[in-house]
Amino acid sequence: MLTIFNTAGGLALILLAMLMMTGGLKIFIGPKLKNFFREWTSSPLRGVISGALVTGIVQSSSAVTVATIGFVNAGILTLVQALGVIFGSNVGTTMTGWLVNLVGHGFKVEVFAMPILAVGVALRFMASRKRIQALGETLTGFGLFFLGLSILKDSFSGVAQNFGTGLITSSDIGGVFAYIFAGFMMTVLTQSSSAAIAVILMAASESVMGVNAAAAGIIGANIGTTSTTALTAINATPNAKRVAAGHVIFNVITGIAALLILPGLLWITSKFGHLAGFGNNTVSILALFHTIFNVFGVAIMLPLTPRLVNFLSKLFKTEQEDLSRPQYLDKTVVATPSLAVVALWQELLRLNDFVCSIVLEAIKLPLTKSETIKKKSELAFSLGQTVHEFVTKVRMENMTCDVAEELAQVIRTTRYLEEAVELSIDANALVHDFNIVKKLNCGNKLEQLFSDIQKIVTLSQKRERDNSQLVATDQFQFHYQETKAEFLRAVVLRELSSEKAEELLDKMSNTRRMAEQLVKANGTLGKYYYNVSEKEADI
């Protein structure tokens, strides 16, 4: 019974240590992690290296994977970049095995762990800066991790003395699958493949578990780490779900491939182990197996990344996401500036219609949920960023002054639409506040203001060649000033608090800015649209 409690306590200490290390490092290096991934994932291979490096430091592939999904959600990383990081995180997590290997080699934990604990706790409670406190928490977790490993080692040593060695072995295919499942469940229950692998390696170090059984358990733990990713991606964006699916596919394919050639992979590991001077040390061999197994997986999947991206891109599609994908921007027109300009204007007409539909939805009654407007705004903004990037790729050679001017107009128009769609969130918030003022006179004025915006947006979609939008804009500006005056009057009459009035006026100002940006965009788009129409009429 004491052995069971010691084992559970050692595992609990390791899990606590993982939480402290991960939590501390998130604060200590978190602000720089985003820029690091953005700059060092320009190719899948660099993504692998970056993912391996960060995971090796953080000691949690799950934490890195969740962060990567967050970056994809925010549009900081593309699917290709994210997959490289995911592949690398599986290699980086093998660092746990090598740390366990230190304890397995008779490493005196107290000589190393106690000073680290002392320094970590001192920084945690004595430092004034939050980042230094986080570093202290990380060091404390690192020290506790080694103490937890030491407790596990002693626990399994007691099992070996009381019940003998070789209690858990794998002699047939049924046994192998049983140990894969055991490793998988240990990771699912602890939500840490590192903790599961630490238990497996410590059991193997005391000969409680055979090498084959331990190797199968490691494969299962590696597959089990996908459970965290799957849970994280439940309410994520389609692109983030694709990253999670890529993680699952990588780990499952790697696990199946390793299982199919398990005897050969263990033989290769043994040969490399002898060359490295590991001899018959079980923990060293298994740590090396874990590393080779994941590097093997990267070697299989890295060349297949383009195909995997194409496959994943077809999953989790939504109508809104299809709207955010460029339809006219093709790599084949980049080399010909005159064709590129035509494609860009066509794409901007689509973006304008998309933005107009979002604005109309944002200001309509009954209310649209703010989360819906925010998600659609992000998709429209993403399309705008794609237009920006495409402009920078257009070849400069043989570009005429007229084409250069048009490209400048494209960028200007894109900025108008991007700002308009960002401000639509404030416009929607103003509609949500309508119930507060609808019984007041300023409520009637505000409702008229929404009606004016709807008219401006509808005219932007129709692209009619007359002064109707100018007339609608003048009416809007007049009603805007009237509404503003009514809000101020409501404050004087104590019908509305000055704080709430100021908040509403800020949102109203942003709503006016949104309408103005749409009118500007319509002006530049109208010139292109009518020029093309006239040329087609001449033909």
Tens digit of each residue's pLDDT (9 = 90 or more) over 92-114: 888 877 877 776 555 565 566 78
Q: What is the mean pLDDT of residues 279-299?
A: 87
> Can you give 36-49 as a three-state secondary structure string?
HHHHCCCCHHHHHH
Query: Per-residue pLDDT tens for 11-66?
Result: 777 777 777 776 776 677 665 666 777 777 778 888 898 888 888 877 777 778 87
> Which pLDDT value is given to residue 400?
80
Residues 166, 194: contact at Cβ < 8 Å?
no
Q: Which CATH architecture has domain 321-538?
A: Up-down Bundle (1.20)
> Which pLDDT value is given to residue 168?
52
Crossing angle, helix 262-275 and helix 211-224, to 10 degrees? 110
Question: How many angstroms separate the CA atoms of 179 and 181, rounded?
Answer: 5
Query: Per-residue pLDDT tens for 357-366?
Result: 899 988 886 6
In 3D space, the residue among 253, 249, 168, 248 whose CA is nearest the CA of residue 216 turns out to be 168
Query: Per-residue pLDDT tens for 233-272?
Result: 776 667 778 888 998 999 999 999 988 888 888 888 888 8
For the chain, the domains span 2-313, 321-538
> Which pLDDT value is given to residue 447?
82
Q: How far is CA 148 from CA 42, 368, 513, in A?
A: 39, 52, 59
**CB atoms < 10 A from the CB of 463, how many?**
16
**Start-to-end Cα distance in the chain:** 92
Question: How many angstroms separate the CA atoms of 169 and 286, rounded?
Answer: 15
Structure tokens at 399: 């570009």
Q: What is the mean pLDDT of residues 365-384?
A: 82
pTM, whole model, 2 decimals?
0.61
